[in-house]
Amino acid sequence: NLLAVLEYAIEFLRVEHLIVCGHYGCGGIQRAAGEDRSALVDHWLQPVVMLYRQHRAVFDAIADPARRLDRLCELNVELQVRRVAAIPTVEQAWDRGQKLRLHGWIYGMHDGLLRDLGPTVASRAERDALPPIDERVRMPAEPCTGVRRHAIEAFAALDPAQSRW
């Protein structure tokens, strides 16, 4: 049971980082964006199905079907981070001051890169300050790979006055 595993990791192992990781091209998300609702897995997918249905016009406005599915995969990770952040075990850990951070990542099977969807959530206050998922649907996403983050940090450290460019 997933909740028992999370509870053990948080309560006994005192993990400091929980990663919710999805992947592009997810068959479950493809199913959620479809019409068939005949399998037990559909119960698990219901929150993302409802998100898709509520914002169908926004998704339909994404011309590229692959990009449309990718965006739904990204939003599903964000949705799941919020769900994990609402688990009583996670809230109790934060209440007692335990260092615990939740991360939302997505894996690109096409290029082998992990992308950070941000933000990292480390408290109830941070979780509660997140924009509602319905707003996130309308916000453009730009997942950040570790390579890109490293490059941004490296260039930010440069002194523009010393640059030869």
pLDDT in tens, the chain (165 residues): 888 999 999 999 999 999 999 999 999 999 899 888 777 777 888 999 999 999 999 999 999 999 999 999 999 999 999 999 999 999 999 999 999 999 999 999 998 999 999 879 999 999 999 999 999 999 877 787 777 777 878 888 777 666 555
Closest by CA to 32, choosing from 2, 61, 75, 88, is 75
| Type of residue at 128 | D
pTM over 0.75: yes
Token pair 């119960």: residue: 43
pLDDT tens-digit map of 42-56 = 788 899 999 999 999
Alpha carbon of 102 to those of 76, 127, 165: distances in Å?
Answer: 15, 10, 39
Helices (H), 108-145: 124-129, 133-138
User: Residue 132 gets which letter from DSSP?
Assistant: P
Asked if 116 and 107 touch (Cβ cutoff 8 Å), the reply is no
Asked if 19 and 105 touch (Cβ cutoff 8 Å), the reply is yes
